[in-house]
Amino acid sequence: MAVVGYGHSRFGVRSDVNMAELAWEAIKEALETSGLEPKDIEHVVVANAGGWSSEPLPAVVVAEYAGLTGKPLHRVEAACASGSAAVASAYEAVASGMADIAIAVGIEKMNESPTPTVVEFIGRAGNYFWEFENFGLTFPGYYALYATAYMARYGATEEDLCQVAVKNHYYASMNPKAQFQRKIDLETCMKSRYIAWPVKLYDSSPITDGAAAVVLASEEVAKKLTDSPVWIHSIGAASGTANLSKRDDYSGLKAAQLAALAAYKRAGLEPENTARYFDAAEVHDCFTIAEVMAYEDLGFVRRGEGYKLVREGQTYKGGLIPVNLSGGLKAKGHPIGATGVSMIAELTKQLLHKVEPGRQADIRKGLVIAHNVGGTGHYAYVTILGLEKPKAR
């Protein structure tokens, strides 16, 4: 199965459009890049975490506006991994034979609610009674727990975390779809106010409106539609506990580790020293510590060595493995339901050499990887894409 079309809206505060119009920006581009019309789509999946936006049934509103009414349609939610869940659901529809062509759409209009409301809703995403109601944890607080545990165990510093932000803003400055199209320096990040120590403002992803879409097709149809399909080699998924007190480690996300192992097994890859396989990665950097943990959860380096990649500049172009050349969630933006779909759209464009020159990866191995986390490891998806059709196993 292959990705045959991709679309992406501009991310940011999008008060200029409603939800359906915003989704259409991505859907329209996905249809154009696949050479298809709405009537050709046979199955529709919409990712939307919701709660902060006006539409209680976003999938039906989005589908109607895009001319997709009448198709099999459903909405998926997996917190910040909702977009990857939509891609996986569309993949399953095609793989099962239910459809030859499916579209996964991610959409979020987070800025329709005031910031305190959004912060509260995201903070409820763990175990509401034990964590939010009793202890007042917000999402920056959750990731601050991981950051302090990681720093204490391995010796990483606040400067190391800020270097992630510097890198991601650097690449976002070249991405016309990014929310923050500007570079920052280390001092700017280090001087930004604390949200939950050691997590600072510039360690944190923003509240974002945005949409992304990808069109998937069966092998037979994909070969008819394009000479350059991007093949889905594998999708790995896993879940974690709702209550953080039941977790035995705070320097990595078990769900992401399990999802990665599943993806590698299905793709026929060894799970150690995995950076050698990929030309680029898009990882879930909702906070800078999350990106560092992702390096290790994905097996790019051994446990406790992720921050060294940052110190050595090994996740820039030309390093061991370029990570978040889109700007990542940190600077491209994090419209929760759209993020996972955005990653697949971005990596498809990377493989096809369709991104801006300054952030185009050097495609030699022909494989890329996406890592998308929901909550603080409540859900996790790892998706591997390639230029060559995967071998039958």
Q: Is the pLDDT of residue 129 over 70?
A: no
Mean pLDDT confidence for 158-181: 98
| Six-digit token string for 179 | 């929310």
Residue 104 pairs in a beta bridge with 45, 214
CA dist 158 and 142 (Å) reads 17
* Domain annotation covers residue 42: yes
Segments forming the whole domain that contains residue 92? 2-113+207-225
Which residue of the set 43, 169, 284, 334 is catalytic?
Answer: 334
* Domain annotation covers residue 16: yes
Please report which confidence band the pLDDT of residue 257 belongs to, taking 50, 70 and 90 as the band edges. very high
Q: What would the DSSP string read from start to end of 77-113?
A: -BTBTHHHHHHHHHHHHHHTTS-SEEEEEEEEEGGGS
Per-residue model confidence as pLDDT tens digits over 24-42: 999 999 999 999 999 999 9
Active site residue 80: yes
Q: What percent of the chain has pLDDT over 90?
A: 87
Which pLDDT belongs to residue 136?
62
Mean pLDDT confidence for 142-148: 94
* Domain annotation covers residue 71: yes
DSSP 130: I
Active site residue 189: no
Which pLDDT belongs to residue 133?
58
Per-residue model confidence as pLDDT tens digits over 258-310: 999 999 999 999 999 999 999 999 999 999 999 999 999 999 999 999 999 99
Which pLDDT belongs to residue 242?
85
Which pLDDT belongs to residue 57?
92
Quote the pTM value.
0.97
Which residue of the set 43, 80, 284, 371 is catalytic?
Answer: 80
Q: Is the pLDDT of residue 135 over 70?
A: no
* Domain annotation covers residue 123: no
CB count within 10 Å of CB 96 equals: 9
Please report which confidence band the pLDDT of residue 365 belongs to, taking 50, 70 and 90 as the band edges. very high
Please state the domain count of the chain: 1
* Domain annotation covers residue 177: no
Whole-angstrom CA distances from 13 to 82, 273, 293 are 20, 39, 29
* Domain annotation covers residue 19: yes
* Domain annotation covers residue 149: no
Whole-angstrom CA distances from 296 to 150, 197, 300, 348 are 12, 22, 6, 24
Per-residue model confidence as pLDDT tens digits over 205-237: 999 999 999 999 999 999 999 999 999 999 999
Which pLDDT belongs to residue 134?
52
Question: 39: domain CATH number?
Answer: 3.40.47.10
* Domain annotation covers residue 79: yes
Nearest of 307, 319, 228 to residue 281 by alpha carbon: 319
